[in-house]
Amino acid sequence: MDTNRGAPTPPIAFGRTAPVTARLTAPAIGVDEALLDRLRGSCADVTTDDTALDETSRDWWPLAMIWALDDEVAARAAVVARPGTVDEVAAVLGVCNEARVPVTAAAGRSGVCGASVPLHGGVVLDCCGLAGIVAVDQASMVVDVRAGTFGDVLEDELRDSHGLTAGHWPQSVELSTVGGWLACRGAGQYSTRYGKIEDIVVGLDVVLADGRVVSTGGAPRQAVGPDLTQVFVGSEGTLGVITGARLRCHPVPPTERRVAFGFPSFVAGLDACRRILHRGATPAVLRLYDDIEGQRNFETGAGVHPLLVLDEGDGRLVDAVMQVVTEECTGDGAPLDGDALLTRWLDHRNDVSALQALITRGYVVDTMEIAARWHDLPAIYDAATAAIRGVEHTVVASAHQSHSYPDGACLYFTFGGQPPADERDAYYRAAWDAGTRAVLERGGALSHHHGVGLNRSRFMRDALGVGLDVLAAVKAALDPNGILNPGKLGLPSPYGPSPAWP
């Protein structure tokens, strides 16, 4: 992946045959000269430069990557503010709150659901300037890090200067920031050992809509009312702006082992994963591919559903985990060349160049990650792949299992279609509707780690039921003027409803 270290990487080049305009027709809030002056008084780096607005207003939402070829973003901000301090964040929010101007936090802009798109214009708050490690408590293995720090920068410094790792390796590690991980409830590829970001975080600093700063958590566990850290984890910029976080770390692992097995069916492989987790083994990587993805990624042959397993850590623990894995896979599974398959996966796991190439050639592609109990996963796999294949113009629908828990796992679906150019939006929406309905009707969660953003907002009532009213009440209490990232998470907005698309 060709990335800009420590800075956002554009998802795809604009067509650049016309000025960039907004595709969606949501009411957009402008910023007049008087307000611009006040923003400039609050933050040293404030711009209305067109190129900055074009780039900062978009993320890696695959549908909007198609629009970019026609020089369109989903929506466009009026101003970009780039704070370098918590005080600047607080001052910008204070000004916007008083003026009722929307503020959308954006950082790596690697979100894939349009979450950081400034749907109603106003100010994009670019959090990338809030970067760097503040302190490391080596005895407790906790790092205090600023929210705009990119993943690879954090890991390099933790490893090189402190002999530690946070163990959080999303495929987008070079594209995304600590604040973005927390705001989206992200998952790393080694999460079966280290947990998702909500398991890794022990405390946050958050600037509220009115400019007040709250620090949450800090101790390994506490019983001091509900967990306020988790109120903000997954809030996608709608409840506050995260400026700093305390994350649990681990020693850089001294040992690593790899094995792989091929299963005759996806269900047989899922059941092996379930048994491994039920015995208490938590290999860092436990990835089961259906035969379509096995063949596409590893050329493992027709009818083979490969399970790739990698663990790391203390040698004795790793040996014990791999012993359990081997016992549970032997029988239903046939041994494969684990070293070769894992090496291939490690070498290519962050390469997404195929995505751009496919979009440029007219394909509509996306991924849909969900979570469900082991009991429900086989039916969800069958129903969701069948439902997406049933949508006209679908070329492929496949899945792998990528994050496991004692009670269930994440299924990560990939789909692609080749509709006529004027039906791309309609195809995209139909594929998402079909796949999501199949998941929700069978008890699955709407998202495991990509979050909701704009794309999944329309499913929030079905996903949460009365829970959406609870979330709306929290939003109204913390952000009474509704300025923070309006139009996301299915929440009501004072600026009008989310536009229907296509």
Number of residues that bind ligand FAD (CB under 6 A): 38
Query: Site for ligand FAD (CB under 6 A): which residue of 109, 193, 246, 287?
Result: 109
Q: Does 186 bind ligand FAD (CB under 6 A)?
A: yes
The beta strand positions in 108-223, using DSSP E, are: 123-126, 133-137, 142-146, 164-165, 201-207, 213-217
Residue 81, helix vs strand vs coil: strand
* Structure-derived torsion over alpha carbons of residues 453, 455, 457, 463, reported in degrees to the nearest 10: -100
- Report yes or no: 180 and 108 within 8 Å, Cβ to Cβ: yes
Q: How far is the CB of 273 from ligand FAD (least distance, A)?
A: 18
324-353 positions binding ligand FAD, by CB under 6 A: 352
Residues in 225-244 at the binding interface with ligand FAD, rule: CB under 6 A: 236-237, 241-242
Interacting residue with ligand FAD among 26, 65, 75, 184 (CB under 6 A): 184
Site residues for ligand FAD, 128-167, by CB under 6 A, read 147
* Window 41 to 80, contacts with ligand FAD (CB under 6 A): 59-60
Angle between helices 315-329 and 266-278 (to 10 degrees): 140
Span from 31-39, 175-183, 222-230, 335-343 in contact with ligand FAD (CB under 6 A): 175-183
Out of 75, 81, 91, 111, the residue judged to bind ligand FAD by CB under 6 A: 111
Q: In what order do the strands lie in the sheet with 142-146?
A: 133-137, 142-146, 241-248, 201-207, 213-217
Q: Given the complex with ligand FAD, which of 184 and 324 has the nearer CB atom?
A: 184
Residue 157: CB atoms within 10 A of its CB come to 17
Query: How many angstroms separate the CA atoms of 313 and 251, rounded?
Result: 8
**Residue 106 sits in the site that holds ligand FAD (CB under 6 A):** yes
Q: How far apart are CA 60 and CA 3, in angstroms?
A: 13
Q: Select 290 or 369, whichever has its Cβ closest to ligand FAD.
A: 369
Return the residue of 170, 253, 333, 435 that touches ligand FAD, per CB under 6 A: 170
What are the residues facing 193 on neighbouring strands? none
Q: Which of 83, 102, 108, 408 binds ligand FAD (CB under 6 A)?
A: 108
Q: Do you know the residue count of the chain?
A: 502
Handedness of CA 33, 39, 42, 44 (dihedral sign): negative
The least distance separating ligand FAD from the CB of residue 327, rounded to whole angstroms, comes to 29
Q: Which residues contact 115 (CB under 8 A, 6 or more apart)?
A: 59, 183, 184, 236, 237, 451, 452, 453, 454, 485, 488
> Looking only at residues 113 through 132 of this chain, which bind ligand FAD when binding is defined by CB under 6 A?
115-116, 127
**Applying CB under 6 A, which of residues 22, 123, 166, 175 lies at the interface with ligand FAD?**
175
For residue 168, state whether it binds ligand FAD (rule: CB under 6 A).
no
The span from the CA of 60 to the CA of 287, in Å, is 24
- Bond from prior residue into 335 cis (ω within 30 degrees of 0): no
Which of 97, 177, 398, 401 is the binder for ligand FAD (CB under 6 A)?
177
Under the criterion CB under 6 A, does residue 449 sit at the interface with ligand FAD?
A: yes
Indicate the residue among 306 and 451 with the shorter CB distance to ligand FAD.
451
Give me the residues that bind ligand FAD (CB under 6 A), please.
59-60, 104-112, 115-116, 127, 147, 170-172, 175-177, 179-181, 183-184, 186-187, 189, 236-237, 241-242, 352, 449-451, 485
